[in-house]
Structure 1
Amino acid sequence: MDFLSNFLMDFVKQLQSPTLSFLIGGMVIAACGSQLQIPESICKIIVFMLLTKIGLTGGMAIRNSNLTEMVLPALFSVAIGILIVFIARYTLARMPKVKTVDAIATGGLFGAVSGSTMAAALTLLEEQKIPYEAWAGALYPFMDIPALVTAIVVANIYLNKKKRKEAAFASAQGAYSKQPVAAGDYSSSSDYPSSRREYAQQESGDHRVKIWPIVEESLQGPALSAMLLGVALGLFARPESVYEGFYDPLFRGLLSILMLVMGMEAWSRISELRKVAQWYVVYSIVAPLAHGFIAFGLGMIAHYATGFSMGGVVVLAVIAASSSDISGPPTLRAGIPSANPSAYIGASTAIGTPVAIGIAIPLFLGLAQTIGG
Structure 2
Amino acid sequence: MAETILGLAAQNLLSPIILFFALGLGAALVRSDLSVPEAAAKALSIYLLFAIGFKGGVSVNGHGIDAGLLMSLLAGLVLSFAIPFAAFGLLRVMTSLSTIDAAAVAGHYGSISIVTFVAATSVLQSQGMASEGYLVAVAAVMEAPAILSALWLASRASSDGTGQSGRNSGLWREIMLNGSIVLLVGSFVIGFLSGPKGLAEIESFIVAPFKGVLCLFLLDMGLVAGRGLRASAKELRPGLIGFGILMPMIGSVAGLAAASLIGLSTGGTVLLMTLSASASYIAVPAAMRVALPEANPSIYLTMSLGITFPFNLTIGIPLYLSIAQAIGG
Give the TM bin, normalised by the shorter chain: over 0.9
Alignment pair present for 1:257 and 2:216: yes
| Unaligned stretches of 5+ residues in structure 1 | 165-203
Deviation at 1:94, TM superposition (A): 4.1
Residue 175 of structure 2 is matched in structure 1 by: 218
Query: CA distance change for structure 1 residues 51 and 28 in 2, over 3 Å: closer, same or farther?
Result: same
1:240 paired with 2:199, answer yes
Query: Which amino acid counterpart does residue 268 of structure 1 have in structure 2?
Result: R
**Offset from partner CA, 1:205-247 (integer Å, 9 cap, x none):** 6963798954432221122112111111112235313431201
Counterpart of 1:361 in structure 2: which amino acid?
A: I
Measured in 1, the distance between the counterparts of 2:86 and 2:156 equals 15
Cα distance, 1:206–1:72 mapped onto 2, change above 3 Å = closer
1:343 aligns with 2:299: yes
Task: Please say if residues 325 and 348 of structure 1, whose CA atoms lie closer than 8 Å, have aligned partners that are also in contact.
Answer: yes
Indicate whether 1:331 and 2:284 are aligned.
no
Match of 1:315 in 2: 271
- Which protein is bigger by CA-based radius of gyration? 1
Q: Give the equivalent residue in structure 1 for 2:328.
A: 372
Contact kept? 2:240, 2:303, Cα under 8 Å: yes
**2-structure distance, mates of 1:38, 1:220:** 26
Residue number in structure 2 paired with 1:191: none
| Partner of residue 81, structure 2 | 82
| Distance in structure 2 (CA, Å) of the matches to 1:82 and 1:206 | 18
Q: Cα RMSD (Å) of the superposition? A: 2.0
Classify 1:108/1:243 alpha carbon distance in 2 versus 1 (closer, same or farther; 3 Å): farther
Deviation at residue 31 of structure 1 after TM alignment: 2.0
- Out of 279, 296, 312, the position equivalent to 1:356 is 312
Identify if the C-alpha distance between structure 1 residues 66 and 107 changes in structure 2 by more than 3 Å, giving closer, same or farther.
Answer: same
Query: Using a 3 Å threshold, how does the CA distance of structure 1 residues 127 and 86 change in structure 2: closer, same or farther?
Result: same
Change in 2 beyond 3 A, CA 1:83/1:39: same
Q: State the TM-score, normalized to the length of structure 1.
A: 0.82
**In 2, Cα distance between equivalents of 1:205 and 1:121:** 40
TM-score with structure 2 setting the length: 0.92
* Alpha-carbon distance change, 94 to 229 in structure 1, aligned in 2, over 3 angstroms: same
Query: What is the one-letter code of the residue matched to 2:4?
Result: N
Identify which range, 140-149 or 234-243, moves more after superposition: 234-243
Percent of pairs identical after alignment? 26
Letter in 2 for 1:118: F
CA distance in 2, matches of 1:57, 1:152: 33
Correspondence for 1:35:
33
Q: What stretches of structure 1 move > 3 A for 4+ residues in a row?
A: 204-216
Counterparts of 2:134 and 2:205, CA distance in 1: 20
Which letter does structure 1 place at the counterpart of 2:199?
E
Unaligned runs of 5+ in 2: none
